[in-house]
Amino acid sequence: MFGWDDARFFLEIHRAGSLSAAGRRLRVNQSTVGRRLAALESVLRVRLFDRTPGGYLLTPAGETLLPRAERMEEEALAAARDVAGGEARLAGTVRLTAPEAFGSRFLTSRLAGFHQRYPDITLELVADNRTFSLSRREADVALRLARPVQPLLVTRQVAEVGTTLYASKGYLSARRKPRTPDLSGHQLIGFDETFQPEAEVRWLAQHARSARVVFKSNSPQSQLAAAEAGLGLALLPCYLADPVPGLVRVLPVSKGVVRSLWLVLHRDLRHTARVRALADFLGETLHRERGALRGGP
């Protein structure tokens, strides 16, 4: 009989595109995923995926099964959220996700206060530029630089994050300092193809066409290190670059990029005590730090 566990393996193969990637997400080995798929196809007497050089692609039978498996997943996850939502104790584990540089360089040191206030709550921080699903319980609370549009999510703007151009003192001593967003004659530190923040990439496309890109990275912290080393100008968040003594703000924040920072949680978890405690703590902390986040005093 086809059940939720079968649907779980089917969905992960579809989403990951390969048995090995699905196994990593399910925390089992590749051969286990292959056996589960073979058993499911045998029970249903259909082939669910075409094995192609580009990955596992749904057959027409797989396309038919997909929406039903997704509904099974939603019901299973809703049941788990309903059970978790009734927890009133300020104890247990709560999982927070935030952008990589923001999570590791700005947020982590400020989370010590959360532990002091709630010593029985174990806090997990996933500092990563990928978007983790709150509906699938990949995280309980998220801080995001774009407001999500998925249903059943509760959102609140908690701060604004200012981003502008920075360079090392050594780099600027060898070149004129730009006074407008005209970067002709300058070297630029940019974003690689795996990390393309929309607002920042759009800003560089508009203002930095005449600059020469000499270094790319998917990590703001690597871009920061490159700017410190004098490789060129870098478009960096003020909270990341302002504390570095060797870096100079080249343009005011008003000429750079200002993005809203959103606190996000799933509607079904908003009354869970430990999740509510973290959301309230983050709201208080980020409101208090809003000047530094935007690039002001």
Domains by residue range for the chain, with CATH: 4-85 (1.10.10.10), 92-160+260-290 (3.40.190.10), 161-258 (3.40.190.10)
Closest by Cα among 206, 244, 207, 202 to 227: 244
pLDDT tens digits, one per residue of 114-167:
999 999 999 999 998 888 888 888 899 999 999 988 888 999 999 999 999 999
Contacts of 6 (CB under 8 A, 6+ apart): 36, 40, 43
- Contact assessment for residue 287 and residue 294, using Cβ atoms and an 8 Å cutoff: no
pLDDT tens digits, one per residue of 6-58:
889 999 999 999 999 999 989 899 999 999 999 999 999 999 999 998 899 99
Q: Report if pTM > 0.75.
A: no
Closest by Cα among 152, 103, 96, 159 to 127: 103
Confidence at residue 87, expressed as pLDDT on a 0 to 100 scale:
63
Query: pLDDT class for 252, splitting at 50, 70, 90?
Result: very high
State whether residue 163 is helix, strand or coil: strand
Q: What tokens appear for 159 in the block?
A: 């701060």
Q: In angstroms, rounded to a whole number, what is the distance separating the alpha carbons of residues 13 and 5?
A: 13
Does 67 score more than 60 pLDDT? yes
Confidence at residue 176, expressed as pLDDT on a 0 to 100 scale:
80
Q: Which residue has the tokens 């027409």?
A: 60
- Contact assessment for residue 180 and residue 227, using Cβ atoms and an 8 Å cutoff: no
Chain centroid, CA 195 distance in Å: 11
Confidence at residue 89, expressed as pLDDT on a 0 to 100 scale:
77
Contacts of 80 (CB under 8 A, 6+ apart): 137
**Which amino acid appears at position 297 of this protein?**
P
Confidence at residue 225, expressed as pLDDT on a 0 to 100 scale:
96
Angle between helices 19-26 and 4-16 (to 10 degrees): 120
**What is the maximal distance between C-alpha atoms in the chain?**
72
pLDDT tens digits, one per residue of 73-129:
888 888 777 766 556 678 889 999 999 999 999 999 999 999 999 999 999 999 988
